[in-house]
A = this chain, B = another copy of it.
Amino acid sequence: MCGIIGVCNNKEAAKLAFLGLYALQHRGEESVGIVTFDGKEIMGKKDTGLVADVFDEKSLESLKGRAAIGHCRYSTTGSSTLKNIQPFLAVHKNKPIAVAHNGNLTNTEELYDKLEEAGSIFQTSMDSEIIVHLLARTRNGNKKKWVIDVLRQLEGAFSLILLIDDTIVGVRDPHGFRPLCLGKKDGHYLLASESCALDLTFAEFVREIEPGEVVFINKDKIESVFMNEEKPAVISHCIFENIYFARPDSFIFNENVYNVRKKLGAQLAKENNIDADFVMAIPDSGNYAAVGFAQEAGLPFEIGIVRNHYIGRTFIQPTQFLRDFRVRVKLNPIRSVLEEKKIIIVEDSIVRGTTSRSRVAELRKAGAKEIHMRISCPPIISPCFYGIDFPDKKELIASSRTVKEIADFIEVDSLEYLSLEGMLSVMKDSRNFCHACFTGEYPVKIPSNKSKYLLE
């Protein structure tokens, strides 16, 4: 769970990177960094905290140069200390090699051992440092050639933006797990995880980088190369980006996220409708599917809960204490809307079930008579090794309980999930999505003898 941005040949590169990261903040609230290069000097700033807290006008002014890459992150691999903040930067032969990485490599350990045996010393526990070491050791001759040589050694999920000398390189792994798109502003290129970052920088959306594609951007020249000659057998876009993670105003995997969510909600209504006084959502993530559901079902859409805007997103808070606290203050039900009503709540997903349970309890206290919950995806039963930070398998409520047992746990009058087939049916190309979290079918080999939580 990370957001990445790259800006080329723009005299306000750092400021555009900042704006882009601001738009991508939902992809990682824990830390943020920007690296720039002005042809001579390499500059950078990174820190824990929100984008708007870490950078101010003065610090952005000090990051000179026409090339910038940036990263915001919620820690997956690597402990969350200061030095583990991306982009990882090395100065090699007086030029930068910097890497911003979204995703998770699955052969980290093999690469790490091999490098250490050869005498590499590591500053961090991040995938991206491994990539920098490989780049420095492989550098020789034609840049496109040795960069591709390094990329072929990587396995797993990786959308990358590299800064090598004065070249920005955009990379998407052959399976296309994570999104990455190309934009243009005043004739110069940008790269970003999601198109919403282009909107905020007033850039124009050009296209998505394709699975397995590597683009080398130098000044205004762009060259596209594919990592492998033949196309990969399987494209595996992360469907959870569409369901929950990406912003609704982004265009990823060939489609607008908002449209996908509305269609998921409508499909859910087709599969699982019942009569009720109105349809509502847990704001804001459930709003889009709820609107689709209400339209399909012909029921009124209502706002039954007030959101406190002084708080971030529950899902990505690091400590248990804060999570509990924030659930409590975040959403307040409005009694005059709910009292004595039979309601349908549309949610995008259930992970542990504890948040849903406490919200349902609050709706009951505010007077709701019947509560029917509808979920716009199938039950989540397996962890993700490709970059979504689900909790451990045993904490995923659906991994060990039936839908009926989950309904009992969260104390709703009824609970229904969208079917796997229903979910895939609304996608433009249903074969091109990874659904491992719903099925346990992993498209890329996962680390054999270790759980993902032992990797650190």
Which single member of B51, B57, B93, B310 contacts A25 (CB below 8 Å)? B310
| Interface presence of A386 (CB below 8 A) | no
| Interface presence of A158 (CB below 8 A) | no
| Interface presence of A303 (CB below 8 A) | yes
| Interface presence of A266 (CB below 8 A) | no
Q: Decide: B308 and A309 in contact? CB cutoff 8 A.
A: no
Q: Which residue of B lies closest to A255 (CB)?
A: B336
Q: Decide: A308 and B138 in contact? CB cutoff 8 A.
A: no
Q: How far is the CA of A334 from the CA of B51 in the complex (A)?
A: 23
Contact A336/B258 with A133-B119, A303-B287 known, Cβ cut-off 8 Å: yes
| Residues of B with C-beta under 8 A to A196 | 306, 332
Q: How far is the CA of A337 from the CA of B309 in the complex (A)?
A: 24
| Residues of B with C-beta under 8 A to A321 | 57
**Whole-angstrom distance from the CB of A308 to the nearest CB of chain B?**
7
Q: Decide: A306 and B247 in contact? CB cutoff 8 A.
A: yes
Stretch at the interface among A215-223, A294-302, A395-403: A294-302
| Residues of B with C-beta under 8 A to A29 | 310
| Residues of B with C-beta under 8 A to A284 | 307, 309
Q: Decide: A249 and B334 in contact? CB cutoff 8 A.
A: yes
**Whole-angstrom distance from the CB of A300 to the nearest CB of chain B?**
7
**Whole-angstrom distance from the CB of A48 to the nearest CB of chain B?**
15
| Interface presence of A270 (CB below 8 A) | no
**Whole-angstrom distance from the CB of A199 to the nearest CB of chain B?**
5
Q: Which residue of B lies closest to A120 (CB)?
A: B136
Which single member of B132, B295, B310 contacts A50 (CB below 8 Å)? B310
Chain A 41-77 residues near chain B, CB threshold 8 A:
50-52, 57
Q: How far is the CA of A337 from the CA of B288 in the complex (A)?
A: 12
**Whole-angstrom distance from the CB of A95 to the nearest CB of chain B?**
11
| Residues of B with C-beta under 8 A to A50 | 310
Q: Decide: B306 and A302 in contact? CB cutoff 8 A.
A: no
| Interface presence of A428 (CB below 8 A) | no
| Interface presence of A137 (CB below 8 A) | yes
| Interface presence of A454 (CB below 8 A) | no
Q: Decide: A123 and B123 in contact? CB cutoff 8 A.
A: yes
Q: Decide: B332 and A200 in contact? CB cutoff 8 A.
A: yes
Q: Decide: B310 and A302 in contact? CB cutoff 8 A.
A: no
**Contact flags A157-197 to B (C-beta < 8 A → 1, else 0):** 00000000000000000000000000000000000000010
Q: Decide: B329 and A200 in contact? CB cutoff 8 A.
A: yes
Chain A 300-350 residues near chain B, CB threshold 8 A:
300-303, 306-313, 321, 328-329, 332-337
**Whole-angstrom distance from the CB of A16 to the nearest CB of chain B?**
13
Q: How far is the CA of A284 from the CA of B309 in the complex (A)?
A: 9
**Whole-angstrom distance from the CB of A259 to the nearest CB of chain B?**
6
| Interface presence of A22 (CB below 8 A) | yes
Q: How far is the CA of A288 from the CA of B272 in the complex (A)?
A: 28
Which single member of B23, B92, B121, B334 contacts A308 (CB below 8 Å)? B23
Q: How far is the CA of A321 from the CA of B116 in the complex (A)?
A: 45
Q: Which residue of B lies closest to A91 (CB)?
A: B122
| Interface presence of A248 (CB below 8 A) | yes
| Residues of B with C-beta under 8 A to A303 | 258, 287-288, 291
Contact A336/B259 with A25-B308, A93-B116, A121-B132 known, Cβ cut-off 8 Å: yes
Q: Decide: B121 and A90 in contact? CB cutoff 8 A.
A: yes
Q: A121-B132, A123-B123 are in contact. List 12 more A-B contacts (CB 8 A).
A: A22-B308, A90-B122, A90-B123, A91-B121, A249-B332, A249-B334, A256-B334, A258-B336, A259-B336, A291-B301, A295-B300, A301-B301
